[in-house]
Structure 1
Amino acid sequence: MSQNVLITGGTGSIGRRLTQLLQQQGFQVSLLSRATSAQPSQPNVTVYKWDVKKGEIDLKAIQNADHIIHLAGEGIADKRWTDERKADILESRTQSTDLLVQSLAQHPHHVKSFIGASAIGYYGGDTGDRPLTETTQGGTDFLAQVVRAWERSEDQLATLGIRTVKLRIGVVLMKEGGALPKLTQPIRLGAGAPIGSGHQYISWIHLDDLCRLIINALTDTSWQGVYNAVAPTPVTNEGLTRSIANVIHRPMLLPNIPAFVIKLMFGELAITVLGGNYVLNKRIAEETSFRYLFGDLENALKNLLNE
């Protein structure tokens, strides 16, 4: 009998690709969604309803699950960071996890493992070229505080005797959604340019490698605790911009976009593009047998940009 994987946030770009790959490997997949009318991207996917703000969840979702993958959370870079938006970003992560914990603590279940999304924002919005590993101390800015609270809420799962893995996810490169289409479009139009100094590091990962990492963490019971879910080779903003231009055969003609322009446009949210982190996948490299399909940036871009 196949194992059932319950995914929260499963209708997003990561969740859709993850569902495909899980089904290819023989897993049953179900989703927790705010709307039962949510359309799963694949057939044979059961959708259960939950309402995090009201603290409501269809308990059948929990009772049928062998594993939980928790991806739910408001998009960090979708809108300007007003006080209200900041509260939504934090609460969408912590309250959703708290609801899962409460449901598992109070009702019979057979969940064996919990794979929780986290983010490299844990280390702070801008840490320069200092190498960061899983044991590096966390930052103190807004994103770091969000991720710390997020991980604390996920730590409660371990107290229930459920194997818990937290993946600090870097910048996910994918065809649709995320940073890559936004970076590629102006380059195609001949208007691409590095942002700010261009020296800020981007710790990236190809969507397929992220999904394969999640599945590895689910199937290999030696995975436990925090892992940096990034490719082996961080790249600068300028390096990424030039690599995209090379792959799509476009020239780089314009000077860098000044930091003050980005700050005027985005306010506090500007840190997500002006800041950078040099994050290393130390635990994955040293403690697991995981092999990246797209550890090289050029190969990743060729795959995603169909060049």
Structure 2
Amino acid sequence: MVKVLITGGTGLIGQHLQNTLINNNIEVAVLTRTPKKSNEFRWNLNENYIDKNAFNNITHIIHLAGAGIADKRWTLKRKKELINSRVKSTSLLLKKITDHKVPLQGFISASGIGYYGAVTSDKIFTEEDAPKNDFISTICSQWEKSAHQFKNIDVPLTILRTGVVLTKKNGALSKMNSPLFLSALGTGKQYVPWIHIDDLCNLYLEAILNDNFKGIYNAVAPEHQTNESFSKTLGNIIKKPVLPMNAPSFILKTALGEMAYMLLNGSRVSAEKTKQFYNFVYPDLVTALNNIYHE
């Protein structure tokens, strides 16, 4: 029997992932600050607390939890929260797994393509590339470093560096899709590595079921889109006009502060290593968006 404990299981990706696992006859438990269902268990980072019943018969942990990167401006306090919510939560899971002597068969952690930094270049980044030294890269590299602690207790580790996740409700698309029109951002030449949520959840499923799917993988579709081409494709799919002039960089910087650099920059990220283990259901943007808006 396989039973998976998910952190962040009540979030956008977590809810979808729960359905994917359950549809594949995998039992699911969820850590949340406010349990409401029979398969939900309380945890609290400030109290260093996790309900020990959450670990009953657990074979794998999928660690999605972390404060939302784009939810608030990056003040010093918020930056600390973004890192601590990922690093401290991972360390707490490790401590409890050790304390309760849970025979874990796999630890699967989210990360982000922000690991490669908020940069626009001609380079196509692979899993072998080093992190940059900006803040978004620091978040991801420290998150991954904390996850690597599980290897010290001989627990197999998989890390998914995730791009922009496309979903039917909420998420990135809802923010891009303004009521009247669409607009590219800044130069529009920055790349937007993306992935359909079904493909992302299937990759987590692969990490559970395939003993060879260990290590670090880019969770991005194999097709490359710039911010400009993404906006035009989205406009064609949903029949909405795209402004001929892009949203100026200075407006985004004024509104979002340092966070704006994450939107105004982006390079291509390779899916070649991931494709060795997984065939994407939605390998191109047209197919992905048609599924989201017309199926």
State the TM-score bracket (shorter-chain normalisation).
Answer: over 0.9
Q: Contact (CA 8 Å) 2:182, 2:240: kept in 1 or not?
A: no
Q: State the shift of 1:233 in Å.
A: 0.9
Answering whether residue 71 of structure 2 is matched by residue 78 of structure 1, we say: yes
- Cα distance in 2 for residues equivalent to 1:196 and 1:253: 13
Q: State the shift of 1:282 in Å.
A: 2.4
1:110 alignment counterpart: 103
The partner residue of 1:293 within 269, 277, 281 is: 281
Tell me how many residue pairs correspond in the alignment.
295
Answering whether residue 229 of structure 2 is matched by residue 236 of structure 1, we say: no
Q: Contact (CA 8 Å) 1:129, 1:201: kept in 2 or not?
A: no
1:125 alignment counterpart: 118
Equivalent positions of 1:248-287 (< 5 A) are: 248-285=238-275, 287=276
- Cα distance in 1 for residues equivalent to 2:151 and 2:120: 30
- Over the matched positions of the two proteins, sequence identity in percent amounts to 40
SS at match of 1:185: coil
Q: State the shift of 1:106 in Å.
A: 2.0
Equivalent positions of 1:13-52 (< 5 A) are: 13-37=12-36, 46-52=39-45
Q: State the shift of 1:277 in Å.
A: 2.3
The partner residue of 1:198 within 174, 188, 202 is: 188
2:142 alignment counterpart: 149
The partner residue of 2:290 within 272, 277, 302 is: 302
Q: State the shift of 1:118 in Å.
A: 0.6
2:210 alignment counterpart: 220
Q: Contact (CA 8 Å) 1:230, 1:280: kept in 2 or not?
A: yes
Q: State the shift of 1:60 in Å.
A: 1.8
Q: State the shift of 1:10 in Å.
A: 0.2
The structure-2 alpha-carbon separation of the partners of 1:127 and 1:253, relative to structure 1 and needing over 3 Å to count, comes to closer
The 4+ residue runs of structure 1 with deviation greater than 3 A are: none
Q: Contact (CA 8 Å) 1:134, 1:282: kept in 2 or not?
A: no
After superposition, give the CA deviation of every residue in 1:170-214 in whole Å (9 maximum; x if it has no partner).
11011222211111234xx1x321110000000000000000011
Long gaps (5+) in structure 2:
none
Equivalent positions of 1:157-172 (< 5 A) are: 157-172=150-165
After superposition, give the CA deviation of every residue in 1:227-262 in whole Å (9 maximum; x if it has no partner).
001000121000110001100122324411110111
1:5 alignment counterpart: 4
- Cα distance in 1 for residues equivalent to 2:5 and 2:273: 26
- Cα distance in 1 for residues equivalent to 2:87 and 2:59: 22
- Cα distance in 2 for residues equivalent to 1:156 and 1:282: 27
After superposition, give the CA deviation of every residue in 1:82-116 in whole Å (9 maximum; x if it has no partner).
11110110000000000001111222212101110
The partner residue of 1:91 within 84, 89, 104 is: 84
Question: For residue 244 of structure 1, what is the amino acid of its counterpart?
Answer: L
Question: For residue 274 of structure 1, what is the amino acid of its counterpart?
Answer: L
The partner residue of 1:140 within 129, 133, 138 is: 133
TM-score (norm 2): 0.97
SS at match of 1:181: helix
- Cα distance in 2 for residues equivalent to 1:194 and 1:61: 44
- Cα distance in 2 for residues equivalent to 1:260 and 1:211: 36
